[in-house]
Structure 1
């Protein structure tokens, strides 16, 4: 049975280095829906152990409000991945608040199995950033412990040998495969990062592209990107108004014994009403997160 999509918003998913105490403290006040506490790429090799201990303490003591707390561990093929998972399991037992563990470079369901065994009961997320991962996206999405998927477009571009294009032509096949897999199994899926954090127009265009494709939100590398992502992946006032009118018109038509309604010159059927209810649920979840 396919899991239902969660109403919790994931418009803005911000990477924070697990080794930077000041950044971890500041994150509690940032307007993001989720935080990826990173023990992998953002942490130098000689800081891995310190970052692991610091993050365990912070997640036990700090209040991050309604923001989802996701920890990205190092890969299990590195010197640090297994210790990350073991330390996280111990920290969670001791009271650290962790909503999910993000596993890097997932190329098959087997890459999730070891982490699932080391850290029981906590949802897993998969970094989708390898060519093999794209080809195995459906099998990965079907993993019973998986809750979400994160596009790792930088690593994917490196593996493909592709050049940057504003339209992300080289990414389209992988993005589409992962989106199809996520939706088939009811998983959350967020788009990859936009590297030029001072380029607001470029970020906005990529957010709009991701939103129109169907992503739940976007991973971000800088707090300056939050407002644009939050706006792009939230239902607009016009969309909320239309959703309400579609639901009202359809209910009125149904009460009159009709199977369809008409709003703004367009047919409204059951499927449109379901989409409208999803939009209102997202808007309500965003408002709740902001409290």
Structure 2
């Protein structure tokens, strides 16, 4: 299960072929970085991008940000070499695009060894197999590829993302069942903070741990949306205090704001405060 000591509120894509972008990422307030060798790199630069990324990761400076490398698919001419190179770069996970079934992860694991794997969930077949994919022993994270889903499902783009709800929900259920990190898809209009906030809030309400981002300008909105609010933190503290007082005195049932507080509420409250503490540690770095 993803550790609460490792917030994943903001997961920023950075092209593996751009030294300037790779350097700038060292100072950005992202919880995780996806160093991209796939969509963000044109075919003519894909081979050279491996060396560019290798040099950047060897130089370090990314602090506690989680380092994930997205390779090209193993069905492409670059995929296998990407995987072999990524396995030697010191990344914390390798992200495979267009995962359709557990066998895709098996093939990657044969190349990458013990490195944790992440899966792009962006095809109809992958969504139908979400539970089996999430159960893979090397899988630690699932990333929604909503642009590809929109294309394959032939949907219209809607603010409420109604056409994607079935697929998103299947992945949330699968991820929660198997303790896998869940990262929502990108929001393409990187200058539209209001629209981004609506989509972040929706993803957070659904149970996603964070959101993939295409531009640094989106970081503040995502970090705020996936952080416990002051009100949530206050409620969590009061729930814990009320429950512990009832336990200590052996009297009655804990009640906060007119609502009964049970064990499950206290567990959620403690998770909220632990997440908040982990976020504050990140800010202090």
Please give the range of the TM-score, normalised by the shorter of the 2 chains. over 0.9
Q: Kindly tell me: are residues 219 and 176 of structure 1, through their superposed partners in 2, closer, same or farther at Cα, counting changes over 3 Å?
A: same
Alignment equivalent of 1:103, drawn from 90, 96, 111:
96
User: Structure 1-normalised TM-score?
Assistant: 0.95
Alignment equivalent of 2:274, drawn from 257, 281, 284:
281
Counterpart residue number, 2:50: 52
Counterpart residue number, 1:77: 75
Q: Which stretch has the larger CA shift, 249-258 or 136-145?
A: 249-258
Kept in 1, the 8 Å contact 2:204–2:225? The answer is: yes
User: Structure 2-normalised TM-score?
Assistant: 0.97
* 1:1-291 matched pairs, under 5 angstroms: 3=1, 5-89=3-87, 91=88, 96-258=89-251, 260-290=253-283, 291=285
Structure 1 unaligned regions, length at least 5 = none
Kept in 1, the 8 Å contact 2:243–2:261? The answer is: yes
Kept in 1, the 8 Å contact 2:190–2:215? The answer is: yes
CA distance in 1, matches of 2:51, 2:230: 44
CA distance in 1, matches of 2:2, 2:218: 29
Kept in 1, the 8 Å contact 2:14–2:21? The answer is: yes
Q: Report how many aligned residue pairs link the two structures.
A: 284
Structure 2 unaligned regions, length at least 5 = none
Kept in 2, the 8 Å contact 1:72–1:101? The answer is: yes
Q: Deviations along 1:173-196, whole A, 9 cap, x unmatched? A: 000000000000011001000001
Using the TM superposition, give the Cα deviation of residue 258 of structure 1 relative to its aligned residue in structure 2, in angstroms.
4.7
Using the TM superposition, give the Cα deviation of residue 128 of structure 1 relative to its aligned residue in structure 2, in angstroms.
0.2
CA distance in 2, matches of 1:8, 1:129: 25
Kept in 1, the 8 Å contact 2:16–2:52? The answer is: yes
CA distance in 2, matches of 1:273, 1:173: 30
Aligned Cα root-mean-square deviation (Å): 1.1
CA distance in 1, matches of 2:4, 2:126: 24
Q: Deviations along 1:3-30, whole A, 9 cap, x unmatched? A: 4654310000000000000000000000
Kept in 1, the 8 Å contact 2:197–2:222? The answer is: yes
